[in-house]
Amino acid sequence: MAAEPHAGLASARRLPRTLAGLLMLLVLVCVVSLLLGAGDVGPDRALAVLMGQGDAEARFVLGSLRLPRTLVGLVVGVSLGVAGALLQAVTRNPLAEPGLLGVSAGAAFAVALALVLGATATTMRVGVAQLGAMAGCLCVLGVARVSGARNDPVRLVLAGAALTGLLLSLTSLLLLFDQRAADEIRFWIVGSLAGRRLEHLLAILPSLLIAGGLTLVVARPLAAMALGERVASGLGHRPGLIRLLIIMAVALLVGAATATAGPIAFIGLVVPFAARALAGPDIRRTLWLCLPLGPLMVIVADIISRLLVAPSELPLGVLTALCGAPVLVTVVRARRMPTL
């Protein structure tokens, strides 16, 4: 028993070094993302632009295509990583993930419905996606409380899979009735950073700031809730209010990420899993490490998606699913589920 506090203290002491190392790796990956792509602008021409030189075509590709794409990858990775960690903590379920539990599918269905109804403004899509994500969150937590699935990770994932299947079917049905919306959403629905502009980031910035503030508010009470709701109440926290704030934060994060890059699966599963392996079960340390780990996974996957079938591109959601599915199988088959 004495080894556990000692291990937690050691993890806390390692956190600054681990975080610094991950941030340096993230900077390196961002530079690689600017240098490599599926087009004609190779690393040498891109490097010349970064050094303040380069031709007009290379400057256009880096400034208008690769830089916005990389920045969107940063924001989407942070959003999905933190949302996954919050969702796993509030459900006390290591398999809880926005893509697996129908939260991302709810956001995608809401955006598809908005497109069919004629929505064109990016900010409107973001708001609609966040409402859909919130509805998905409420469904997930409702199932967890009513059916007792909260204590059975696999049952909760199965319920989320059923919800995801239903919402994806409804999304496909909507697109059958509107060819314009189908053409616009076809590549987006599988998840991609291609063609994203800085305007997309500006549209989601307010909601990300609100979600960040909510995360800061709930981090400490959420760590107390890991000891049990009675203990948290005894320490002066209000579990019901904390749960509601987490639902709002997850909805804002997942809705913003989905409206910008489409439904990208497994980021919210793999990133918290890796963060807990590095920092231990404390949700506060987990959230800190999710900040660089989320963008790392998204941007590395995006770089591979550009190069794997060049000059074409592989959808980012397909690649993250290929990487995340083995992690899901590993967690399910583990003899002892990870402690949250």
**Alpha carbon distance 117, 111 (integer Å):** 10
Residue 39's nearest CA partner among 76, 74, 64, 71 is 64
Token pair of 89, please?
């903590």
Which residues, in sequence order, are CB contacts of 89 under 8 Å at separation 6+? 222, 225, 226, 246, 283, 286, 340
DSSP 247-274: HHHHHHHHHHHHHHH----SHHHHHHHH
CB 267 within 8 A of CB 294: yes
In Å, how far are 6, 70, 182, 203, 277 from 3, measured between CA atoms? 5, 42, 56, 47, 16
CB 271 within 8 A of CB 297: yes
What angle (nearest 5°) sits at the alpha carbon of residue 285, between those of residues 284 and 289? 120
For residue range 252-281, list pLDDT tens digits in order: 999 889 888 888 888 998 999 899 888 888
Residue 265's nearest CA partner among 116, 58, 71, 108 is 108
What would the mean pLDDT of 33-40 be, rounded to a whole number?
A: 83
C-alpha of 30 from chain center: 18
Which pLDDT score, from 0 to 100, does residue 20 have?
Answer: 92
What would the mean pLDDT of 177-195 be, rounded to a whole number?
A: 73
What b/e readout covers 299-314, taking b as 16+ CB neighbours within 10 angstroms?
bbbbbebbeeeeeebb
What would the mean pLDDT of 14-28 be, rounded to a whole number?
A: 91
Which pLDDT score, from 0 to 100, does residue 288 have?
Answer: 94
Look at 53-67, 83-97, 117-131 and tell me which has the smallest mean pLDDT. Answer: 117-131
Given the structure tokens 């926290």, which residue do they identify? 237
For residue range 220-245, list pLDDT tens digits in order: 888 888 777 777 777 778 888 888 89
For residue range 190-209, list pLDDT tens digits in order: 788 887 888 888 888 999 99
**Alpha carbon distance 85, 287 (integer Å):** 7
Which residues, in sequence order, are CB contacts of 49 under 8 Å at separation 6+? 58, 59, 62, 63
**Alpha carbon distance 301, 283 (integer Å):** 25
CB 337 within 8 A of CB 94: yes
Residue at 241: amino acid letter: L
Number of H helices, E strands in the chain: 14, 0
Domains annotated on the chain, with CATH:
74-333 (1.10.3470.10)
Q: Return the top range by mean pLDDT from 9-23, 268-282, 289-303.
A: 289-303
Burial (CB count <10 Å: 0-12, 13-18, 19+), residue 12: middle
| Stated length of the chain | 340
DSSP 72-107: HHHHHHHHHHHHHHHHHHHHT-TT--TTTTTHHHHH
Q: E-strand spans in the chain? A: none
